[in-house]
Structures are given as structure tokens and as C-alpha cells.
Structure 1
């Protein structure tokens, strides 16, 4: 049965790959984008997840188009790299507002209809850097680590209503976000990756699709790594 699926930050990279995967399954897919052009062939709404009114409008538009959201993939994220002693407050706060607070805001909005329906899937997009830490990324690592507490707390709150809440932790994935990673840092991360290669957005999308499937109906509160073994066991 076709479901209403909402992917935040779904106009490129991992988010777009996830959107394409759900669309290929016949789901009714909507994506949000804050900047840039909407992806071809998908219903898109402009949304800034750091703004409450913008987030509420986006969810309302999706519901008007396709009905209540049954699957949320909270993928929208940014980086503002810099060493902590010199990092501006705005750069720290903007990353947490987007990556962590924005994810919570979207989950809270869609949870209302999921609770009424007594079913739903929420998947947060974290990062192995939330477990490893990363020089120059105290803001990003903190925001991604925070998603673990959010995931597991919501899993407790929503589980009795038939709603699962899980988190995916990608490693080094070939997207725009790693474009500025230095060759030295890339080599360092690959040396810690047993598979000795970067991943693709499509490989992450397959795991997200599973977590949203009936086959994962007894999986909740999980942090699922998709990093070729990078940070295994963390």
C-alpha cells in the first residue's frame, strides 16, 4: 500500500537517494529543500526546519497533497566547520538548530497524526562523527550525537502507539558534504574503514528503506551504522 513519505533535505545527496528509493517502491514522496532547485519528478516544498512556521507550513502542504505523513526521514543538515576556540556562537548554534532541533521539530509535527493512526516510521540521519568526534566539527558532532538521545527517547514515547523511531549513522559517503574534506583526512578515515572505500547515497538509502518497511516492524531505538565498518561498535 502506498504511503506518504516526507524526507527533509531531500533535494540532493543522501536525501535525494532516499526519496528516489521510496518513489521507486510506489510511495507518495515529498521532499523539503531550503535552498537550490527542487528535484525533478518529486513533490517538493520549501522549508527551513529551524523556523517553526516554515516547518508547520511544509507539513501542512504535504498533508494537503498526499495525506498524513506515515514515514519521516529527518535528513536536513548543515556544517559550519571551525576549531572550537575560534568558533562563533552563531556557527555552533546554527548547526544544532538545523541538525538536532530541526529534526525534533519535524518529528513532533508528524507524530501527531501517527499517534492517531497508531502506526508510523521515523528515521533520523546521524553520522559516525557523532560517535567518533571530529577535529573542527564540535558543532556537527554534538548535533549528531544528540540525535541518539532523541531517537531512543522518542522510541520509548511512541512505541506503544505502533511507531518506530530509528537512526542511521553514515560514514564517509560521496556527497557534497565531504567535498571539502582534505585528502589527508579522507585517507585517515579510509584507513579506519575496513571496506577501504567510501559509500554511496544509494547504499544509505537501502538501509533507510528497510527501517521504514514492514520487515523492520520490531526494530526501534536502533542506531544503524552504514559506514563500511568505520566506528564499528560505537
Structure 2
């Protein structure tokens, strides 16, 4: 990566030391249709915008109607095309309806980023309420299953595609106080690997991305939005900073692109070194 002395982005659009990413011209999804859940903010919004800039028609799905409208507006304001849908990934009928609308509107599905998820407050395993555990499983794990269940038939009709499921560093490593969250994210990684084997020969590649500590509304809730809370999580990052949503978006677009055609069933860790420290 070429940088000047100020660490600015070079002419190839590569990220600088502060995590700024310019994906302009790096990927081409012209004529493709991408579905992004949890797209009202954070990583989902950044990825939906990146797909839009890369030429894809983007289905923006989330529980937040206001957030969905805003993400879709930004895509269209930049010259792209978006379909905004409210969707609860924990409810099968809601997911099926969203994918049916995708097919009715755009006629195909080529890429999907199953990103919707909820966090767990730091809580020792025996102190986690059963209903809180069930909610994490319903959204983080069952939501990915339901999404792929409706996405895969559309991709088979389209002749193939690529799915990326959002796991976490907690999908490859244990963290104290995160037993329920880690269980769901380990489950996402295992489900991703097994599903990838089911459909690789049919031209559908299924992979996962495992973000580290990313500067998102979810992370701000997790840290309490305080300087001390932020410092506590940043201390876990060897690179000395949080990642940006755009850095995860870059990984997702790569995994959905032809450049990743031989990557199947992989859990790509994008975490600034957190899980190897």
C-alpha cells in the first residue's frame, strides 16, 4: 500500500492508517442485485452504500424504517438504485416476504450480506437471562439461517451467487462475559462452513466475515459511549484503534466479487489483530 507521509489514501484507493477506505473503481457489480440486512446503520449501511457505488441494485433491509429510508436515499442520491424494506430476520414470514419482494422487483439475487445482529451486555454465563439468550439466538443465528433459506433458491435460479454472513471475532475466540453472543457467532461460522459445502458445486459461495472492534452504533452502546469504555475496547486492538464500517464493507465486497471465486466456507477475520494478540 502506497502512502504519503500523512498516511492519506493513495491513487489506488487503498486504506490509510486511520481506516479510511475508498472503494471507487475497486469492484464492479453492475447488473447485479445485492441484499443487505441490518442496513439501517453501521456496517450494514456502509456495505449497502459500497454495493451501490459499485453498480449493484441494492435491497436495504432492517427493522428500522427510518434507517432503511435513509440508507436507500443515500444510495439513490449517489446515482444508484435501492429498494428499502423493513424486515425482522428472526421472523420467517418477514424474511421470506423481503426476498419475494427482491425477486419481484429485480428478478434475481447475486449477492447477500446477512449482517443483522444484536449485542450482549457483558454478563457472566450463569447470569444471562434465558430470554436474553433466546433473543440472541433468534436474531444472530436463526436470522442468518432464515435469510440463507430464502436467498439460496433465488441464487440457484440466477445461476449462482455469493453469500457473506456476519460473524465476529467472537465467532473464532471466546471472550469473558460473552457466552451467549459467542455461542451465536460460533454457530454462524459453523453454519457458514457447512452450507458452503452444500452449494459450492451449484455456484453459490458462502463465506463469513469476522469483524473486530468496529466504530458503530452497536459498539457505542457496548462501551456506554464513554471515553473510558472506548479506551477499554481499543486496548484490545494491536493496531491501537477501532476499525471502520467501510473496512468491513471492503472485505464483504471482495468476498462477493470474482476476485474471491476460489474462496469457499472461509471465516475471514478483519480485526486489527485482536484475536491473535
**Structure 1, 39-48 or 178-187: larger mean CA deviation:** 178-187
Find the counterpart in structure 2 of residue 174 from structure 1.
215
Q: Residue 103 of structure 2 contacts residue 154 of structure 2 at CA under 8 Å; is this kept in 1?
A: no
Find the counterpart in structure 2 of residue 8 from structure 1.
37
Q: How does the TM-score come out when normalised to structure 1?
A: 0.93
1:172-227 CA-to-partner distances (Å, cap 9, x unmatched) read 10001111326556445433422111110001101101111111111111111111
Q: Structure 2: how far apart are the matches of 1:130 and 1:79?
A: 13
1:207 to 210, 235, 251: 251
Q: Structure 1: how far apart are the matches of 2:34 and 2:266?
A: 20
The gaps in structure 1 that reach 5 residues or longer are: none
Find the counterpart in structure 2 of residue 216 from structure 1.
260
**Structure 1, 13-22 or 67-76: larger mean CA deviation:** 67-76
Q: Residue 115 of structure 1 contacts residue 158 of structure 1 at CA under 8 Å; is this kept in 2?
A: no
Q: Structure 1: how far apart are the matches of 2:273 and 2:58?
A: 30
1:94-141 CA-to-partner distances (Å, cap 9, x unmatched) read 111101111011111110122233311000011112223233322111
> How many pairs were matched up?
233
Q: Which has the larger radius of gyration?
A: 2
Find the counterpart in structure 2 of residue 193 from structure 1.
237
Q: Structure 2: how far apart are the matches of 1:134 and 1:232?
A: 13
Q: Is 2:48 the partner of 1:19? A: yes
**Structure 1, 182-191 or 65-74: larger mean CA deviation:** 182-191
Q: Residue 166 of structure 1 contacts residue 222 of structure 1 at CA under 8 Å; is this kept in 2?
A: yes
Find the counterpart in structure 2 of residue 114 from structure 1.
155
Q: Structure 1: how far apart are the matches of 2:183 and 2:271?
A: 19
SS of equivalent to 2:201: helix
1:117-175 CA-to-partner distances (Å, cap 9, x unmatched) read 33110000111122232333221111111111111101100000111111100001000
**Structure 1, 178-187 or 50-59: larger mean CA deviation:** 178-187
Q: Residue 73 of structure 1 contacts residue 123 of structure 1 at CA under 8 Å; is this kept in 2?
A: yes
RMSD: 1.7
**How is 1:1-234 mapped onto 2 (pairs within 5 angstroms)?**
1-37=30-66, 38=68, 39=71, 40=73, 41=76, 42-81=82-121, 82-179=123-220, 180-181=222-223, 186-232=230-276
Q: How does the TM-score come out when normalised to structure 2?
A: 0.79
